[in-house]
Structure 1
Amino acid sequence: MFDNTLSVCMIVKNEEKNINRCLQSIKHIADEVIIVDTGSTDETVSIAKKFGAKVIDVEWTNDFSQARNISLENATKNWILVLDADEEISFEEGAKLKNILKLNSKLEAFHLRLVNMVSNVDIGDSIVLRLFKNNVKYRFEGKMHEQIVHSIERNSNGSLIGSTDIKIKHYGYDPNLADLEKKQQRNMDLLNSYPLEKRDGYFYYSLGNEYARVNDIDKALECYYKALELTNNLNVTPVYLAYLCLHIVKVLSSSKRYSEEFNMLSKFKKRFVNFKDLYFMECLAYIECGRYSKAKESLIHYVACPKGNYEYPCSKFENYYNIQQLLDDLNKSSINHKENILNVLIMAYENHPKLLDTIKNVSEIADNIIVVTKNDSNLDKQHLKNIGIHLVEVNGNNNGKHFLKGFAQCSGDFTLLMKPGELITLDAQDDLIELVSNTSENYFNISVLDTQLNRQSSEFRLFKNLKELKKYKTFKEFADYIYSNEILNVFISIYK
């Protein structure tokens, strides 16, 4: 029979609010409990001793690995489970853990899943290596966000690390139970104390997380990209890489840098083919940009990813979104069309309160949206670039020249002219795509309805991007050529 005895090892300080829950949860699986206390002044130690734990008092040296390793040195059982006081493992999960130890004599360690709880709601989980054989060569490394996986990989075959679906509940991010501000400051102090030669990819990933928690987006991204650069130079794929990729995507999304987010998602999806969270984040970004067909494709990929894939973190989007309802809504908003069939050209010299409404309204049918504006305009140009708008900046007051400069960037089969504040209904968009997909005509007048003045007019707004139109140097030449041809009236309406 295999020796499946278990030591539970912890380091604690002033955890009287949490430690009782933690120790109560593991009393049926722990053959011994080793607790390293780093200076508690509350009832933590007395509570631990009531559960029969072996308590070791040590001086705190701002080094989590050192404290962790003291707990490991005092463990006497064959297997070690590492927990924190703000964690617990249910009776059912504990039984699964003990059963796994009975059945696996050849494996050296296991990844478990850490489920983050806020107000008793699961907000997503992550992979953690917390269960391993008691081996003097297996020790934690790093002053903060300490890891043991590296020493296990170095001193055993990496294939001897298994994955499980055993869940540990973690309450450390719940503001009702933890002093998050104090924790963040402690973490920053520890990270800033790292010598330069110790600042590897994991260091910058951890530092980026701390900046992200205080919403310092630029600093967070700077650290994350540095971590990505250092990680890409490694010959192995570290466990934290999937988390790094997801954190980059989430920070870009929260700061509405969608073009950059799409670029990074394209790279990350190639590396992590079945990473569900990436597809859902892509879906949300496409929705924000009004690109519903693309969002639907991403959501379908998300649903199709294998369930129970324990290689990647999971944000549990199903807890916040009705996936089927979202898919139904995207189906209703999607308009199928071939790529690059329509460009939209908008002249916007100054900011307009409904410019973004117009852009989002036509993003589903336009593969390219060109906005012509002046260099000194008050448009939020960075935001327009962030959502994928092709911005053409001009000087002076020659509107015709400005139009031609914008039109020069139109590469699709047709160009639709829009003004800030104008909208096209979903049915009209469907009709418009049907028209440009099948017509042999080149020039079209579209009905423009002014809802405030209750006035309707027919205006030249749609034309094929013919080569001969690109050769004109003045707007007069362009307009003369257009009006020398037949312009077809169509029953498609723009509202303003």
Structure 2
Amino acid sequence: MAVKPKRDLKKLLKIAEKRTIPKLNSDQKFSLCMIVKNESKNIARCLESVEGVVDEIIVVDTGSTDDTVEIAKKYGAKVFFYEWSNDFAVARNEAIKNATGDWILILDADEELSPESREIIRAFLVKMDGDATYQIRIKNMNTYGNVMYQNYMTRMFKNTNTTMFVGRIHETLISRSQAINISGEDVFIIHHGYKDHEKSAEKITTRNIPLLEEILKKDDINNSYKSFVNFYIGASQLEIGNLEDSLKSLRLAIDQSKEVGNANLNFIAFSYIRLMSIYISLKKLEELEDIVKEAEKECPRLLSHYEFWYYKASIGLMKGDNVDALKNLKKCVDSYNDKSNYDFNDLSNDAIYYFALLSICNTYMRMSDKENTLKWLDRLRKEVIGNFDYPSYKQSIYTLYAQLGEIETAIGIAEDLIDLIDNEAKNNLFTDLTNMYMLNNQFAKAVNLQAKFHDPEKVKESWYIVAANLEDGKLFPTAEEVYSEIIKVLPDESRAYVGRSVARLVQNKANDAINDLVLAKSNAKDQEQKQTVGKLYIKIGRLVEARQCFEDILIDSPENYQANLYIASIDQSEGKISDAQSVLERLIDLFPNNIDAYIQLGNILLSNKNADKSIEVFEKAKNIQPDNAYLLYALALAHLEKNNKEDALSYLEKAIKIEPDNEGLLNLYDVICKNSIE
């Protein structure tokens, strides 16, 4: 048993509210007529869009095997069944036959009445005698939810016994009245059918084209109708990418129309337009030039249509004639924006308008005219972004701004774009955007971006390099931002807290810096990180906290050499000389070949006027590293303490041989020599 679709309370209340709003022209009964088959994914959206607008819903089902019928009934539809006979007009007329309204609205299941339309569409239901028909704008949506193109179709008409559909496919309404276009942006139908490209292509291949070809086999159709059918075959072939087949059918449509002396029709105009697009795709310049010349002569209505000027401009672009191309591209732009220039029911392909603007930008770019490139690019960005949100469109606009050096604008577009694309294009844009952040000194944003698309643990070293370079350049506020961004991404990174603490100390943000050190200590995961925190505490004179860091290390590793050295240093600073000496003597016993403890112990002894003992310690260290210039310097100082200038000079001479450019050694040597002479 099929599961019945549930409708929640909020939705039911919303419907009830709609039904209580007084309807315009309430004396005119309004019927929705539909033909459907297996539309369970779409029909609820369609029917919800007319709740509170129409008074009657007529659904003719042509063989559904899913829940389409049950869903339709939930919305109060009167459902009739009709065995499909490969004739759309007959099915449409079956729906009309069962409608009792004064006016009829036609919708397909993959369409919906726009929210804007619901408030005012009934304003057109005027009480009158005779026939009346309205053409309504159809906005065809792409997979990104943007308008792919627009066209006008007769979808609303007076329900009279003389109004009916004809045509097995691409059915046409026959009426005694001239169709009236409902202009403006407030009334339109949204068509979602092109979002599923595979399903759309399958319908064209298995249903539409065979039905059209079947019509051509009849003996009783004239050239005018053959021309019309061939146009639709050609358009269908083009939609599924069969360029050569499309070219043949469109050419036949034009020739058949010319035979009856009427090539200045809408569908012939679009036959020419489609032929031009095919010749461009096939890179056939000569054929493109010929068809443009023919169209100008045979179908003058095209001269007021923007697509014609775009394709004519393409000739100049293909020939490298920038001036001619720009002239025609600007005519395209002007024609697009002057809707009075062409018939209202002409199909509107907004992509062509975008390409015209983009081509103007690229042409000025080739001419090295930055001022005009930027002028038209700004216009392109304002008109395209938000209206035609194709990722490829945004990417082209971003690329141009980047090439012009307009980095801030390029960054803004790239930030919106990067989540919309994938694969190699995303990787390239990621690299570009990261580099632009770096060039624009937006290093924190670069970190954040990398963290979105890479494992932070794998790329964090590059972030620390950036921060270190900023510190080297004295750019401490920016370095602080980078460390803050690292902390956002990796909140347990002790190293980042240490880095930010240093950057804040330089900026005299002492309290914030100390708070960072507390966090650095609590997040320190190993002895090296604890030691780094302890060293920084020593530098800022926080000896108690520093001692805690090193004692934490000694709990797990009591013989840790560096930690003991720092404990001894802290003892010395706190005046605990005997404690410091004990620690250092123990280290010398444990690590007799490491001279750091010798040096530190010798310095303590020397600073406490114990020159003989310090000389003894320094000599032991010198035996381990005889070419250590610092040990020789320390021995010189110890002998000076004993007023033994000759030995001091001897040690200094040895040290200078090792480090001949050491100014400290040279200056001390000169001072001793001068004092000796005096």
TM-score using structure 2 length: 0.45
Counterpart selection for 2:348 from 288, 311, 314: 314
Aligned residue in 2 for 1:251: 278
Aligned residue in 1 for 2:321: 291
Counterpart selection for 2:125 from 101, 115, 121: 101
Change (3 A) 1:326 1:216: closer
Q: Aligned equivalents of 1:330 and 1:86: distance in 2?
A: 40
Whether 2:217 is the aligned partner of 1:191: answer no
Q: Aligned equivalents of 1:290 and 1:79: distance in 2?
A: 55
Aligned residue in 1 for 2:189: 168
CA displacement, residues 22-44 of structure 1 (integer Å, 9 cap, x when unaligned) = 11112232121111100000000
What is the CA distance between 1:104 and its match in structure 2?
8.7
| Pairwise CA RMSD | 2.9
Q: Aligned equivalents of 2:356 and 2:236: distance in 1?
A: 31
Counterpart selection for 2:71 from 39, 47, 50: 47
CA displacement, residues 344-367 of structure 1 (integer Å, 9 cap, x when unaligned) = xxxxxxxxxxxxxxxxxxxxxxxx
Change (3 A) 1:70 1:278: same
SS of residue in 1 equivalent to 2:35: strand
Whether 2:243 is the aligned partner of 1:217: answer yes
Change (3 A) 1:222 1:177: closer
What is the CA distance between 1:193 and its match in structure 2?
2.0
Q: Aligned equivalents of 1:42 and 1:58: distance in 2?
A: 16
Aligned residue in 2 for 1:264: 291
Q: Aligned equivalents of 2:99 and 2:346: distance in 1?
A: 30
Q: Aligned equivalents of 1:103 and 1:322: distance in 2?
A: 45
Change (3 A) 1:78 1:265: farther
Aligned residue in 2 for 1:139: 164
Counterpart selection for 2:109 from 63, 73, 85: 85
Q: Aligned equivalents of 1:303 and 1:130: distance in 2?
A: 30
Change (3 A) 1:300 1:182: closer
User: Structure 2: which amino acid aligns with 1:178?
Assistant: K
User: Structure 2: which amino acid aligns with 1:168?
Assistant: I
SS of residue in 2 equivalent to 1:26: coil
CA contact (8 A) 1:116 1:125 kept: yes
SS of residue in 2 equivalent to 1:299: helix
Aligned residue in 1 for 2:309: 279
CA displacement, residues 44-80 of structure 1 (integer Å, 9 cap, x when unaligned) = 0011111111111010111111101111111221221
Change (3 A) 1:25 1:58: same
Change (3 A) 1:251 1:57: same
Change (3 A) 1:176 1:293: same
State the structure with more CA Rg.
Answer: 2
Q: Aligned equivalents of 1:147 and 1:234: distance in 2?
A: 22
User: Structure 1: which amino acid aligns with 2:122?
Assistant: K
Whether 2:51 is the aligned partner of 1:32: answer no
User: Structure 2: which amino acid aligns with 1:161?
Assistant: I
User: Structure 2: which amino acid aligns with 1:312?
Assistant: D
Q: Aligned equivalents of 1:161 and 1:56: distance in 2?
A: 30
CA contact (8 A) 1:116 1:124 kept: yes
CA contact (8 A) 1:19 1:44 kept: yes
SS of residue in 2 equivalent to 1:240: helix
Q: Aligned equivalents of 2:129 and 2:312: distance in 1?
A: 42
Unmatched segments (≥5 aa) in structure 2: 1-24, 369-678
Aligned residue in 2 for 1:21: 45
TM-score using structure 1 length: 0.60
Q: What is the aligned length?
A: 329
Change (3 A) 1:40 1:225: same
**For structure 1, which segment, 251-260 or 112-121, has the greater mean C-alpha deviation from structure 2 after superposition?**
251-260
What is the CA distance between 1:180 and its match in structure 2?
2.4
SS of residue in 1 equivalent to 2:76: coil
Counterpart selection for 1:201 from 227, 239, 244: 227
Q: Aligned equivalents of 2:29 and 2:318: distance in 1?
A: 52
CA contact (8 A) 1:3 1:78 kept: no
Aligned residue in 2 for 1:112: 136
Q: Aligned equivalents of 1:219 and 1:203: distance in 2?
A: 14
CA contact (8 A) 1:110 1:164 kept: no
What is the CA distance between 1:328 and its match in structure 2?
4.1
Q: Aligned equivalents of 2:353 and 2:308: distance in 1?
A: 17
CA contact (8 A) 1:242 1:312 kept: no
Change (3 A) 1:262 1:96: farther
Q: Aligned equivalents of 1:235 and 1:211: distance in 2?
A: 24
User: Structure 1: which amino acid aligns with 2:278?
Assistant: V
**For structure 1, which segment, 112-121 or 284-293, has the greater mean C-alpha deviation from structure 2 after superposition?**
284-293
Q: Aligned equivalents of 2:317 and 2:263: distance in 1?
A: 35
CA contact (8 A) 1:171 1:177 kept: no
Aligned residue in 2 for 1:380: none
Give the percent of matched residue pairs that are identical in Structure 1 and Structure 2. 29
What is the CA distance between 1:209 and its match in structure 2?
2.0
CA contact (8 A) 2:314 2:325 kept: yes
Change (3 A) 1:257 1:78: farther
Change (3 A) 1:330 1:208: same
Counterpart selection for 1:241 from 236, 244, 268: 268
Alignment of 1:301-380 (within 5 A): 301-305=331-335, 306-309=337-340, 310-317=344-351, 320-321=354-355, 323=357, 326-331=359-364, 333=366
Counterpart selection for 1:181 from 182, 192, 202: 202
SS of residue in 1 equivalent to 2:52: coil
Q: Aligned equivalents of 2:30 and 2:131: distance in 1?
A: 15
CA contact (8 A) 2:35 2:60 kept: yes
Change (3 A) 1:3 1:106: farther
SS of residue in 1 equivalent to 2:172: coil
What is the CA distance between 1:251 and its match in structure 2?
2.1
SS of residue in 1 equivalent to 2:164: coil
What is the CA distance between 1:214 and its match in structure 2?
3.4
Unmatched segments (≥5 aa) in structure 1: 336-496
**For structure 1, which segment, 27-36 or 47-56, has the greater mean C-alpha deviation from structure 2 after superposition?**
27-36
What is the CA distance between 1:239 and its match in structure 2?
4.4
Higher helix share: 2
What is the CA distance between 1:145 and its match in structure 2?
1.3
Q: Aligned equivalents of 2:203 and 2:130: distance in 1?
A: 42
SS of residue in 2 equivalent to 1:205: helix
SS of residue in 1 equivalent to 2:235: helix
Change (3 A) 1:98 1:207: same
Whether 2:158 is the aligned partner of 1:128: answer no
CA contact (8 A) 1:276 1:314 kept: no
Q: Aligned equivalents of 1:192 and 1:266: distance in 2?
A: 30
Counterpart selection for 1:231 from 247, 257, 264: 257
User: Structure 1: which amino acid aligns with 2:167?
Assistant: G
Q: Aligned equivalents of 2:353 and 2:67: distance in 1?
A: 36
Change (3 A) 1:281 1:4: farther
CA displacement, residues 387-440 of structure 1 (integer Å, 9 cap, x when unaligned) = xxxxxxxxxxxxxxxxxxxxxxxxxxxxxxxxxxxxxxxxxxxxxxxxxxxxxx
Whether 2:87 is the aligned partner of 1:63: answer yes
What is the CA distance between 1:235 and its match in structure 2?
5.5
Q: Aligned equivalents of 1:234 and 1:95: distance in 2?
A: 45
